[in-house]
């Protein structure tokens, strides 16, 4: 069964970027600390990253995040989806306008201009097709940014919330949980590593 999994790193005070995030400063000031676990040699960090990349039948991202990963300082052959895993699932970008060009032409991009629910539906179709082809259950992963995941949670589009809680207080930045509709969560897993606390919740 294909699930919709929101997967993102967050500070202890609830931010998914530091302040002043932008195309040339994707994680904001101090935000690199959120992804220390991604480049860690801790065996559990490596395992979680590898498993998360492998389960991705399709990935949804917002336009701001696309502009960062497809920009000149973005992904390459050594660091991409899943960091050093450099996974290549289909990518679905929710955007108001399609980009004039794409740098990462070796990746499978779909641009959806009719809103987040349609982007998630398109990604589900791709993930279900990949599941049928591979013979194993693959999921849709919402990788961000924070506004995209926050909107998906508020709209009831998320089945599972996977948080990588970094031991840092950023003080400001992009919040993951802006004021909105309450959601009940059921905790499923907790994994403590040397760099983060990895939490998985079912969303009701």
Chain segment 101-134, per-residue pLDDT in tens = 999 999 999 999 999 999 999 999 999 999 999 9
Q: 101 is written with which tokens? A: 């060009």
Q: What is the mean pLDDT of residues 9-16?
A: 96
CATH of the domain at 30: 3.40.430.10
Look up residue 155 and give its DSSP letter. T
pLDDT tens-digit profile of 144-178? 899 999 999 999 999 999 999 999 999 999 999 87
CA distance 140 to 168: 28
Assigned token pair, 136: 């194993």
Note down the domain range covering 139. Answer: 4-203
User: Residue length, the chain?
Assistant: 204
Q: Which of 41, 4, 69 is nearest to 194 (CA)?
A: 41
pTM, to two decimals: 0.95
**How far apart (Å, rounded) are the C-alpha atoms in residues 115 and 151?**
11
Cα–Cα separations (whole angstroms), residue 177 to 16, 87, 98, 117, 150: 10, 28, 27, 19, 6
At residue 178, the pLDDT reads 79
Q: E-assigned strands of 51-184?
A: 56-62, 91-94, 109-112, 139-144, 160-165, 174-175
* C-alpha 49: how far from chain center: 12
Does pLDDT of 180 surpass 90?
A: no
Confidence band, pLDDT 50/70/90 cuts, at residue 14: very high
Residue 87: DSSP 8-state: B
Give strand pairing partners of 112. 94
For the four alpha carbons of 98, 100, 103 and 108, in that order, the dihedral sign comes to positive
Joined tokens for residue 103: 């740098």
Query: Residue 39's pLDDT band (boundaries 50, 70, 90)?
Result: very high
Q: How many domains does the chain have?
A: 1
Largest CA distance in the chain: 45
């Amino acid at each position: 069964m294909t699930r919709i999994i929101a997967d993102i790193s967050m500070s202890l005070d609830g931010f998914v970027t530091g302040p002043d995030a932008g195309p040339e400063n994707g994680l904001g000031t101090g935000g690199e600390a959120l992804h220390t676990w991604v480049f860690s040699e801790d065996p559990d960090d490596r395992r979680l990253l590898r498993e998360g990349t492998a389960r991705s039948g399709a990935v949804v991202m917002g336009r701001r995040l696309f502009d960062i990963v497809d920009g000149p300082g973005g992904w390459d052959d050594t660091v991409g989806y899943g960091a050093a895993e450099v996974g290549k699932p289909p990518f679905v970008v929710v955007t108001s306008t399609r980009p004039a060009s794409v740098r990462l032409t070796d990746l499978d991009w779909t641009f959806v201009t009719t809103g987040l629910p349609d982007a998630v539906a398109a990604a589900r179709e791709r993930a279900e097709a990949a599941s049928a082809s591979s013979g194993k259950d693959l999921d849709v992963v919402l990788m961000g940014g924070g506004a995209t995941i926050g909107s998906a949670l508020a709209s009831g589009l998320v089945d599972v919330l996977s948080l990588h809680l970094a031991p840092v207080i950023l003080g400001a930045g992009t919040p993951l949980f802006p004021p909105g509709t309450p959601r009940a969560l059921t905790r499923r897993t907790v994994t403590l590593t040397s760099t983060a606390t990895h939490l998985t919740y079912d969303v009701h």
